[in-house]
């Protein structure tokens, strides 16, 4: 198991190496940092002096090593719009995005597991066919359209829920403003989280159903029925446990993708998270924020997938065995 974890950590470091190269390329290829700092009313000689002072005339490899060292210490540059370190801006916006992803993930788990199991056990019922048909529709509708429909129905027509912003948040702990501590704030996260979950919910319903149907046909499940075990025990202990193996793998990847999809959701709902900040950074050509967003999301994605790989290795020893070959 130790060798398995070491291999996964080594793969994560390779991914971070690639992310550092991409981040370095964005930072030093898009725009002129000297122009952003001093404007256009500066002579060419003064510009060149500034470039020498900041090390922008150094060899590319030297600049990349410096960039990596600064990134390891949390220094990803300074946002010229916010006039703050980019890392500080990211950490301030991250709680809003992470809470949105957590709420969406909870919706996906709470709905996809029972619906997927029911559709597998009762494939010919009208309710199963309704769920499967709705999942096809859900996959086909883009997230921004789902968000607009939710706003129109529940905010504009019914006036049940707010349509934008985070509302009156409360401090969960220093640096983390939360929407989960009061009903007024929680109302603001309902529509964005439902819209964001609509991307992955149909996928997980169909995945769980397909895996459960396959597992229910295996010999050990038939043997469990023959032993006289209750249908519920066979379903939840013997069948569902083995259904979770591919779901865990796909879930880790999709969780990282869902973080990226928050860009659309946060833009529609004016949710002040990292996705909304990313759009603003693109419009303002704030390269320091763009790099900070890329590195932060990349690190988060790598951590999630590494943890998922380790969990999968613990749940399924065959992965560790095959990894030695």
DSSP 54-105: HTTTS-HHHHHHHHHHHHHTT---EETTTTEEHHHHHHHHHHHHHHHHHHHH
Tell me: the pLDDT tens digits for 71-102?
777 777 777 777 788 888 888 888 888 899 88
Helices in 217-239 by DSSP H: which ranges? 219-226, 231-233
pLDDT at 308 over 80: no
A 10 A CB-CB count for 206 gives 20
Q: Chain-wide mean pLDDT for the chain?
A: 80
How many CA atoms lie within 13 Å of 22's alpha carbon, on the beta-carbon side?
A: 15
* pLDDT at residue 4, as a whole number: 67
Cβ contact 287:31 at 8 Å: yes
Six token digits for residue 230: 């209750």
What does the pLDDT read at residue 19?
Answer: 81
The predicted structure's pLDDT at residue 1: 63
Q: What is the pLDDT of residue 164?
A: 84
pLDDT-based confidence at 32, cuts 50/70/90?
Answer: low
pLDDT of res. 324:
47
Residue 325: predicted pLDDT: 40
Residue 323 Cα to chain centre, angstroms: 27
Predicted pLDDT at 305: 78
> Model-level pTM?
0.79
CA distances from 265 to 97, 143, 153 (A): 10, 7, 17
pLDDT-wise least confident of 144-153, 185-194, 270-279, 283-292: 283-292
pLDDT (0 to 100) of residue 38:
62
Task: Extract the tokens encoding 270.
Answer: 């004016």
Q: What is the pLDDT of residues 313-325, one digit of tens each?
A: 666 665 554 444 4
Contact 117, 208 (CB under 8 A): yes
- Which band of pLDDT confidence, cut at 50, 70 and 90, is reported for residue 275? confident
Residue given tokens 């793969």 in the structure block: 11
Question: What local confidence, expressed as pLDDT, does residue 321 receive?
Answer: 45
Q: What is the pLDDT of residue 34?
A: 63
Q: How far apart are CA 250 and CA 258, in angstroms?
A: 12
Length of the chain: 325
Q: Look at 319 and 132; give whichever has higher pLDDT.
A: 132
Nearest-5° Cα angle at 243, 239 to 249:
160
**Residues 6+ positions from 159 with CB-CB distance below 8 Å:** none
For range 216-223, the mean pLDDT: 80
- pLDDT at residue number 192: 92
| DSSP code for 173 | E
């Amino acid at each position: 198991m130790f060798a398995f974890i070491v291999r996964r950590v080594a793969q994560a470091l390779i991914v971070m190496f690639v992310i550092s190269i991409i981040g370095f390329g964005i930072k030093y290829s898009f725009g002129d940092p000297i122009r952003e700092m001093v404007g256009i009313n500066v002579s060419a000689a003064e510009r060149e002096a500034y470039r020498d002072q900041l090390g922008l005339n150094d060899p590319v490899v030297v600049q990349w090593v410096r960039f990596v060292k600064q990134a390891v210490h949390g220094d990803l540059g300074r946002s010229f719009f916010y006039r703050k370190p980019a890392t500080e801006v990211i950490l301030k916006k991250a709680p809003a995005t992470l809470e949105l992803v957590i709420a969406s993930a909870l919706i996906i788990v709470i709905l996809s597991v029972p619906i997927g199991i029911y559709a597998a056990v009762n494939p010919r019922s009208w309710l199963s066919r309704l769920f499967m048909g709705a999942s096809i529709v859900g996959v086909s509708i883009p997230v921004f359209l789902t968000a607009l429909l939710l706003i129109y129905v529940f905010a504009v027509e019914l006036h049940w829920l707010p349509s934008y912003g985070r509302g009156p948040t409360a401090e969960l702990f220093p640096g983390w403003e939360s929407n989960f501590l009061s009903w007024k704030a929680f109302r603001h996260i309902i529509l964005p989280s439902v819209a964001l979950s609509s991307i992955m919910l149909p996928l997980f319903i169909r995945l769980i159903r397909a895996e459960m149907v396959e597992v229910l046909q295996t010999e050990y499940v038939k043997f469990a029925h023959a032993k006289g075990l209750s249908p519920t025990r066979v379903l939840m202990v013997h069948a569902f446990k083995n259904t979770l193996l591919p779901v865990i793998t796909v879930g880790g990847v999709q969780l990282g993708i869902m973080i990226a999809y928050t860009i659309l959701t946060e833009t529609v709902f004016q949710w002040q998270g990292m996705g909304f900040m990313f759009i603003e950074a693109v419009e303002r050509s704030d390269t320091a924020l763009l790099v900070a967003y890329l590195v932060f999301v990349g690190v988060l994605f790598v951590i999630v997938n590494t943890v998922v790989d380790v969990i999968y290795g613990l749940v399924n020893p065959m992965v560790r065995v095959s990894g030695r070959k």
